[in-house]
Amino acid sequence: MIPAIEVKKVYKHFGSVNALVGIDLEIEQGEFFALLGPNGAGKTTLINILAGLTLPSNGVARIMGHDVVTSYREARRIVGVVPQELVFDPFFSVRETLSIQSGYYGLRNNDAWIDEVICGLGLLNKENANMRTLSGGMKRRVLVAQALVHKPPVIVLDEPTAGVDVELRQSLWYFIKQLNRDGHTIVLTTHYLDEAEALCSRIAMLKQGKIVALDSTRNLINSTNGCLIRLHLSSDTLPLELYPLLESYTEDCFILRVNNYSKIENVLAELRTAQIRVLEMELMQPDLEEVFVKIMGNTEDLESV
Amino acid sequence: MSGFYTLLHKELLRFWKVGLQSIFAPIIATLIYLLIFSHVLEERVEAQPGVAYTTFLIPGLVMMAMLQNAFANSASSLIQSKISGSIVFILLSPLSYMEIFVAYVLASIVRGLLVGVGVYLSTLLFFDVPLQSLLWIFVFALLGNGFLGALGIIAAIWAEKFDQLAAFQNFVILPLTFLSGVFYTIHSLPPFWEDLSQFNPFFYVIDGFRYGFFGVSDISPYFSITIVAICFLTVSWITLLILKSGYKLRQ
């Protein structure tokens, strides 16, 4: 199967600034994929190259096999991009905006799908309002709707939930998940790592224009060493044998790191021998944030060497 | 192809929705020029033999209004969407650079023609203007508006702020139109200025356009139409190259 997105040795320089340094990436059709990284890592530059808003200095990017530079018309028909900046055309209403956008793709009589998008994104009672009069959240919904107006097989969302309220976030993801189930490939960037963790099957982490991690969400989370247990004990000291496992002590609780959950039995055994009772115990799942912080930190060390 | 029609339709709607400012206002402004100049100069000047000054002035003013509005249309549409960022919706679409070019230029031509026709028809209420050849009039109007529409695209792509575009408009377009023989025949100028005027492409647009009304012009309309066509094609070619390269639009 042709990959939905294929990026090969893509470089981008803005003057002396290297925004992207040799990006290689393949995203399969039907994936729900996250691009993560701190501000300035190159996520938006990469997305802009896929969208044709920025030309790569070097390398090739293809969408469903169509080169974004040489076959730009085919590539742009297949991809729908939600830009990060909140932009709108002040001359038109929501529905006019959407039918104009649809027209750019050569689609006439697209009203049934436009209705579905308007409903799905909760824009129904604003469809005849002028874009100028909408709140920020509503404008964001229209931006998403504009990207979906030609029913693109590949949907790219650049921080779609930045500064957006809970309700929209939920309805947006509900709608996007549905599209993903229908076979659309979804690529998103976000700073909310819990969103990426909950939605995406695979993740690439970018830092300073390079991919520093690329794996399934599960593998990335499992890559943290061991797991954490939080213990509230009858004693405020820990048996000596357990001190090497101590990660931190907060709010009367000891947080211990063990290699895997089977080691918990050993910890409990030590506590019994020392005649300390466990008042409360919590197993703490490793999460993406921990992995993210670790990976971003690690590569920093590498570079400073 | 229908993507192109959508963009053209949108560009037409854009100025139509603000018609008071984009069509009606320039018509009024041009009529005021006409009333003032004709009042002051009618008795004293005969521009061309047998042609009263006011009659001579009308085609020039019509063309001046068209040129300025054709330029303003593509330029202001592009700079607004560039600065507001909404140009992204066109850049994300599969529209080719040729379609983008033609849509913007055609919208400029339509606005120019609407203003021109508006000015001409309203002058008929007060003055009698002959009309020798509709064909010459139409061809010069078409090419002149197209030329300025394309120039407007270049200016708006180049300009990064509104004041840079205004500078282009005030320091290039305005002097070139005012000094192109709108208000006088260049034969009335001192030799140095007469020679210099021949390097002003707008002079040929206006002189040829005027020929369509009176059958008289400073130079041959065939020569003028050649110059104007070359200008239009050259500027169009440069605009297409700029659009294709993504200069300042797809960095």
Interface-testing mutation among A84, A100, A142, with chain B (most B C-beta atoms within 10 A):
A100
pLDDT of B48: 74
Contact at CB, A105 and B14, closer than 8 angstroms:
no
Q: What is the pLDDT of residues A233-268, one digit of tens each?
A: 988 888 888 888 888 888 788 988 888 778 888 899
pLDDT of A168: 85
The answer to whether residue A296 sits within a structural domain is no
The answer to whether residue A292 sits within a structural domain is no
Q: Which of B84, B96, B251 sits opposite A73 (nearest CB)?
A: B96
Residues A242 and A182 in one domain: no
What is the layout of strands, in order, in the sheet containing A202-207? A79-82, A154-158, A185-189, A32-36, A202-207, A210-216
From the CA atom positions of chain B, what is the Rg in Å? 18
- Helix and strand numbers (H, E) in chain A are 10, 14
- The shortest C-alpha distance from A195 to chain B (Å) reads 26
Contacting residues of B for A83, CB less than 8 Å apart: 85, 88, 92
Amino acid A1 reads M
Q: Which of B3, B250, B251 sits opposite A106 (nearest CB)?
A: B3
pLDDT of B189: 87
The Cα–Cα gap between A83 and A159 comes to 8
The answer to whether residue A300 sits within a structural domain is no
- State mean pLDDT over B211-223: 94
The answer to whether residue A173 sits within a structural domain is yes
pLDDT of A301: 52
CATH of the domain at A210: 3.40.50.300
Contact pairs from chain A to chain B, CB under 8 Å? 75
What are the DSSP calls for A75-103, one per residue? HHHHEEEE-SS----TTSBHHHHHHHHHH
- The shortest C-alpha distance from A48 to chain B (Å) reads 9
Residue A163 has pLDDT above 80, yes or no: no
Residues A79 and A174 in one domain: yes
The Cα–Cα gap between A16 and A142 comes to 36
Residues A133 and A234 in one domain: no
Contact at CB, A83 and B9, closer than 8 angstroms:
no
- Please give the model's pTM, rounded to 2 decimal places: 0.89
Residues A164 and A24 in one domain: yes
- From A272-276, B132-136, B210-214, the region with the lowest mean pLDDT: A272-276
If we measure between CA atoms, which residue out of A118, A117, A209, A107 comes closest to residue A155?
A: A117
Q: Which of A90, A105, A146 sits opposite B94 (nearest CB)?
A: A105
- State mean pLDDT over B4-25: 94
- The shortest C-alpha distance from A260 to chain B (Å) reads 48
Interface residues of A toward B, Cβ cutoff 8 Å, are: 14, 51-55, 72-74, 76-77, 81, 83, 85, 87-92, 100-101, 103-106, 108, 146-147
Contact at CB, B2 and A88, closer than 8 angstroms:
no
Element (H, E) at A160: none
Contacting residues of B for A85, CB less than 8 Å apart: 85, 88
Contacting residues of A for B85, CB less than 8 Å apart: 83, 85, 87
- Which domain-ending residue is among A173, A201, A221? A221
**Could you tell me the pLDDT band of residue A2, with boundaries at 50, 70 and 90?**
very high
Average model confidence (pLDDT) across chain B:
93
Residues A168 and A280 in one domain: no
Our count of domains for chain A comes to: 2
Q: What is the pLDDT of residues A36-77, one digit of tens each?
A: 999 999 999 999 999 999 999 999 999 999 999 999 999 999
The Cα–Cα gap between B184 and A165 comes to 64
pLDDT of B119: 96
**Are the C-beta atoms of B27 and B43 separated by less than 8 Å?**
no
Question: How many C-alpha atoms does B102 have within 13 Å on its Cβ side?
Answer: 10
pLDDT-above-90 percentage for chain B: 79
- State mean pLDDT over B109-131: 94
Residues A209 and A237 in one domain: no
Q: What is the pLDDT of residues A181-228, one digit of tens each?
A: 999 999 999 999 999 999 999 999 999 999 999 999 989 988 876 778
Residue B1 has pLDDT above 60, yes or no: no
Q: What residues form DSSP beta bridges with A254?
A: A231, A249
The answer to whether residue A249 sits within a structural domain is yes
Higher pLDDT, B187 or A38: A38
**Could you tell me the pLDDT band of residue A305, with boundaries at 50, 70 and 90?**
very low
- Which domain-ending residue is among A206, A221, A236? A221
Contacting residues of A for B10, CB less than 8 Å apart: 100, 103
- Which domain-ending residue is among A221, A239, A272? A221
- The shortest C-alpha distance from B249 to chain A (Å) reads 8
The answer to whether residue A299 sits within a structural domain is no
Residue B125 has pLDDT above 60, yes or no: yes
**Could you tell me the pLDDT band of residue A304, with boundaries at 50, 70 and 90?**
very low
Kindly provide the ipTM of the predicted complex, given to two decimals. Answer: 0.89
- State mean pLDDT over B210-239: 96
Residues A168 and A103 in one domain: yes
Residues A215 and A236 in one domain: no
Residues A19 and A134 in one domain: yes
pLDDT of A69: 95
Higher pLDDT, A179 or A295: A179
The separation between CA B57 and the C-alpha centre of its own chain, rounded to angstroms, equals 16
Residue A10: domain span? 5-221
Contact at CB, B86 and A104, closer than 8 angstroms:
no
Q: Which of B13, B92, B95 sits opposite A53 (nearest CB)?
A: B92
Residues A203 and A134 in one domain: yes
- From A24-28, A287-291, B11-15, the region with the lowest mean pLDDT: A287-291
Contact at CB, B2 and A146, closer than 8 angstroms:
no
Residues A229 and A250 in one domain: yes
The answer to whether residue A197 sits within a structural domain is yes
Contact at CB, B91 and A90, closer than 8 angstroms:
no
Residues A199 and A64 in one domain: yes
pLDDT-above-70 percentage for chain A: 97
| Strand A32-36 to A202-207 pairing | parallel
∠ CA(B65), CA(B77), CA(A129), 5° rounding? 120
The Cα–Cα gap between B200 and B227 comes to 10
The answer to whether residue A304 sits within a structural domain is no
The Cα–Cα gap between B160 and B158 comes to 6
